[in-house]
Chains A and B, each alone.
Chain A
Amino acid sequence: MFILFLFLFDRGLFYFISNLEANFYQESDFEKRFERFVKDIHFTTLIFGTSRTYEGIHPYYIEEKLNQKAFKESYVGKGPKYNYYFYKLYKKYAGIPKVVIYGVDYFIYAVDSDPKWMSRFDINTKNEKIDYFSSPLLLVKYKKKIDNFLNNILIRLKEEMESEISKKSLQDFIKIHNYTGLTVKNKKLVTQPYKNYERQAYPPFPGKEGLYFMKLLDELERDHVTILLVILPDFFGSYKTNLQRHELILHLRQLRNKYKNLYYYNYNRIKKFPLGNPGYFNDGGYGETNSHLSQKGAKLFNEILVKDIKKHFQ
């Protein structure tokens, strides 16, 4: 009796939550807000990437040094699939950019686009098929997804109550535009190697959303956009943790051979950036695949970057 009820409740509650989730992610005002923001500004550059790019590449410096307006669309959970759909939306309201800077991470093909962000586009997430017999307990199997949904509910409520972002439609875009990085360290930076720290293999193409990455590059090529793939610096500990870095480089070389307008810049090299300086990073280190630049680190990095990419704007 216990097992039967457990099975039924698990399926029932999972079905209920899935429907609730699909309805929740119908964000309606994003397109309008985006249109309002971009209509009077002529952006020449679009920046894609994850949180590493969000902390590492800042439109502020691109504007200051190159006199180019850059629109940054990078954050946690903004994977290749999200970027592909966003580019379509971007083109519709802001036109075709001159340059796209894509912050490439070691784990680019292990990234999933968060449903919270995907809900911005008119693609139906309800269509994702769920096999109701794929696991004895679906609530356990999809625990991460459910947790993500719960967090997103809280985040949305927080936004509604605290900064009223959805009402003051432009506020969040402006905030991102003026952002130059975190000043307070809130995470751990593992500066010393410890015995048997876990190293990370390179998640190869296509991985989770690699095919969308290719679709995006194809589209950019068709639109004659200059594509700059930028490998951001990692703290030395993370650099050592990600042991198959060369695999990523080989892959980027293949892409460069395939696409005429594609260039790649690798700053995850000691020659190019002081990877060993903990003051330039907020987190990461030995055993951590992921490190983010601090405000100080981002300033130095952007100064180097703008010098290197200047030629693409001339």
Chain B
Amino acid sequence: MIVELRLQMIFNSVDFLIFFSIVFSIYFFIPQKFKWGFLLAASYFFYGYWKIEYLILLIVPTIIVYFISFKISQTQSKRRRKLLLILGVIAGLAVLLVYKYIDFIGSSLFSLAGIFISNLEYNPFNLLWPIGVSFYSFKLVSYLVDVYNEKSKAEKHLGYFALYVSFFPQLLMGPIDRAVNFIPELKKKIYVDIDRVVSGFRLVVWGVFKKMVISDRLAIFVNEVFRDPEQQGINLIFGAYFYAFRIYCDFSGYSDIAIGISRILGFKSMNNFDFPYFSKSMTQFWNRWHISLSTWLRDYLFLPIAYAVMRPIKTPKLYRIKAETWGYVIGMFLTMFLGGLWHGARWTFVIWGMLHGIYLIVGYITKKTRKKWVKKTRLNKFPRLRYVISVFITFNLVSFAWIFFRAESFDKALSYIKHLRFGSTGKGTVYLLFNLILVSIFILLEILYKNRKKLTFIRQMPMVLKVVCFVFFICFTIIFAVDTSNEFIYLQF
């Protein structure tokens, strides 16, 4: 598959700066009742700027899902409602399946058939997939299922619904907000609130810093290490750690910018990251990483699958294993498998997802044993030490899985792992040290940000000093930002 990123209006581009300046300067002067129309037009322009003909791939599923959800809300018959739901889900996912997965499915099937039939060759379609399709498709599906489950009412106003699907700050890389949260925001009166604009702007700057200073700088080292893993020695270990920070800063940076822009425009957007690398366990990690996706996967995949597995088990245990455990294990594994596949039509993503599935399942099964072990070793008497050890183990497991996520192929991932060692080759030491300094600064800033409410010196700081610090931070960001910026990684998904 091909993803063309050349002309899109990504957040760290001059084009977007101009676009947003225009939107922002007009937006607050528009009467309330026309605001949605203006934002919808701006969102379609934003999307069409990349490829105008692909707008249709956004608009058509939106209209179909709108009408089907409306029909679901008016239908009483359970069978008919289910049928409509299936139709709606197909309509919502059709673009995603065709454009993103057709070659993956085709080539996988042909490879499988190749075991039995010789000289079988798959000719890929090489379709250029619409950017943001994975995100807006999931919005459509969650909306449909919520209407079906009567968790939310079908929205009567097509414009509001279309804006929910295509709201430009969230369109390309999320967060995958729920209609039940977003649409009521649209109906509220929006006015200029300086505090809100300032706080949104602060978040945008923080996001730009994460993306352009941390992520893009780390990318230089990471790309080099992944390109040629042989004779890299300890660089490979740090390469995996740095990639963990790179992807976190890239994606959470984008989310911060998206949330900041939404806030400036008067919308509350769901938080997408909650300091995931400070997690004590894999379950906690998934509660803090890409929250809008993980909650989506939980609500629309894991829980339905788990219930579907548990329902036919009539006894409390099956093969001496609790029905609940069956539900968790099968539900989790399938969810993470599909979650991996959602990230890209490549087996490395699937393996990454499955690895996380295994982590979570092992974590679930060994919960009691681990507790006993903690007691036995008296670690429970040293909660801080226990916390540090837990965070360290979780971070290492996550970083290990990222190797599969980053590698171009399964073989390359294996080669990377094979060459992991502690010895230094002396190669790239300066860049390694430079990146270590960068990451340390970033961790320090994250800790400060995480504990900002507890730190009295920040709260009591005079306004002038706060402005000075903020201005210095902006200048620091400009100085250390990478000049030719990389696209955001999650734009590929």
Contacts and interface: CB of A to CB of B under 8 A. Distances in A.
17 contacts: A1-B464, A1-B467, A2-B467, A2-B470, A5-B467, A9-B471, A13-B479, A139-B475, A139-B479, A140-B478, A143-B481, A154-B430, A154-B434, A161-B426, A161-B430, A162-B426, A162-B429
B233 to A, nearest CB: 13
Nearest to B472: A9
A314 interface: no
A143 B14 CA distance: 14
A150 B480 contact: yes
Interface string B470-493: 111011001111110000000000
A2 B426 contact: no
A6 B471 contact: yes
B194 to A, nearest CB: 12
A17 interface: yes
Interface in B415-473: 426-431, 434, 464, 467-468, 470-472
Contacts of B467: 1-2, 5
A147 interface: yes
A10 B475 CA distance: 7
Nearest to A287: B6
B227 interface: yes
Interface in A142-178: 143-144, 146-147, 150, 154, 157-158, 161-162
A121 B239 CA distance: 38
A143 B464 contact: no
A186 B472 CA distance: 38
Contacts of B426: 161-162
B432 to A, nearest CB: 10
A137 interface: yes
Nearest to B469: A5
Contacts of A157: 430
Contacts of A6: 471, 474-475
Given A9-B471, A161-B430, A162-B426, A139 B478 contact: yes
A252 to B, nearest CB: 31
Contacts of A150: 479-480
B464 A186 contact: no
Nearest to B201: A2
A2 B479 contact: no
A230 B471 CA distance: 51
A9 B429 contact: no
Contact of A143 (B427, B468, B478): B478
Contact of B471 (A5, A17, A154, A162): A5
A157 to B, nearest CB: 5
B430 A144 contact: no
A154 B475 contact: no
Nearest to A159: B430
Interface in B204-263: 227-228
Interface in A1-55: 1-2, 5-6, 9-10, 13, 17
A190 to B, nearest CB: 12
Contacts of A158: 428-431
B6 to A, nearest CB: 9
Most central of B228, B464, B481 by chain A CB within 10 Å: B481
B483 A162 contact: no
A5 B474 CA distance: 11
Given A147-B482, A158-B431, 17 more contacts: A2-B470, A5-B467, A6-B474, A9-B472, A10-B475, A137-B478, A139-B475, A139-B479, A140-B478, A146-B479, A154-B434, A158-B429, A161-B430, A162-B426, A162-B427, A162-B430, A184-B228
A32 B96 CA distance: 64
Nearest to A10: B475
B4 to A, nearest CB: 8
A186 B430 CA distance: 21
A79 to B, nearest CB: 19
A17 B431 CA distance: 21
4 closest cross-chain pairs (CB), A and B: A147-B483, A5-B471, A158-B430, A139-B478
A16 B228 CA distance: 38
Contacts of B227: 186
A13 B475 contact: yes
B217 to A, nearest CB: 9
Given A13-B479, A150-B480, A154-B434, A2 B471 contact: yes
Contacts of B474: 6
A147 to B, nearest CB: 4
Most central of A137, A139, A184 by chain B CB within 10 Å: A139
A15 B5 CA distance: 36
B73 to A, nearest CB: 43
Contacts of A184: 228
B55 to A, nearest CB: 18
Contacts of A2: 467, 470-471
A143 B216 CA distance: 15
A213 B483 CA distance: 29
A186 B464 CA distance: 49
Nearest to A145: B483
Nearest to B474: A6
Interface string A73-110: 00000000000000000000000000000000000000
Contacts of B431: 154, 158
A144 B475 CA distance: 15
A13 to B, nearest CB: 5
Contacts of A146: 479
A137 B467 CA distance: 17
Nearest to B477: A139
Interface in B98-125: none
A76 to B, nearest CB: 14
Nearest to A186: B227
B425 to A, nearest CB: 10
Contacts of A17: 479
Contacts of A5: 467-468, 471
Contacts of B482: 147
Nearest to A8: B471
Nearest to B470: A2
A221 to B, nearest CB: 39
